[in-house]
Amino acid sequence: MDLAYLRAHPAHLPTFLTHQRIRETPVSGGSICAASRLTLDDGNSVFAKTWPEQAGTAAPDGFFAAEAAGLRWLRAAGAVPVPEVIVELPDLLALEWVEPGEPTPEAAEQFGRDLAALHRAGAPAFGADWNGFISALPQDNTPDPGPWSTWFATHRLTPYLRRSVDNGALTGAVVDLVERVIAGSDGYGGEEPPARLHGDLWPGNVLWGLAGQVWLVDPAAHGGHRETDLAQLALFGGLPHLDRVLAAYQEVHPLADGWRERVPVHQLHLMLVHTALFGAAWRDVVAATARSALGTR
Nearest of 115, 124, 126 to residue 156 by alpha carbon: 126
C-alpha span between 288 and 233 (Å, rounded): 18
Q: Which fold has domain 3-96?
A: Phosphorylase Kinase; domain 1 (3.30.200)
DSSP 122-154: --SSBB-SS-EEETTEEE----B---HHHHHII
Task: Name the architecture of domain 105-294.
Answer: Alpha-Beta Complex (3.90)
What are the angstrom distances between the C-alpha of 224 and each of 22, 119, 127? 40, 9, 7
For residue 189, the model assigns a pLDDT of: 80
For residue 296, the model assigns a pLDDT of: 64
DSSP 173-185: HHHHHHHHHHHTG
Tens of pLDDT along the chain (297 residues) come to 899 999 999 999 999 988 788 899 989 876 688 999 999 999 999 999 998 876 667 889 999 999 999 999 999 999 999 999 999 999 999 999 999 999 999 999 999 999 999 999 999 999 999 999 999 999 999 999 999 999 999 999 999 999 999 999 999 999 999 999 999 988 888 899 999 999 999 999 999 999 899 999 999 999 999 999 999 999 999 999 999 999 999 999 999 999 999 999 999 999 999 999 999 999 999 999 999 999 865
- Please, is 281 exposed, middle or buried when counting C-beta atoms within 10 Å of its C-beta (0-12, 13-18, 19+)? exposed
- CATH 3.90.1200.10 domain position(s) in the chain: 105-294
Whole-model pTM? 0.95
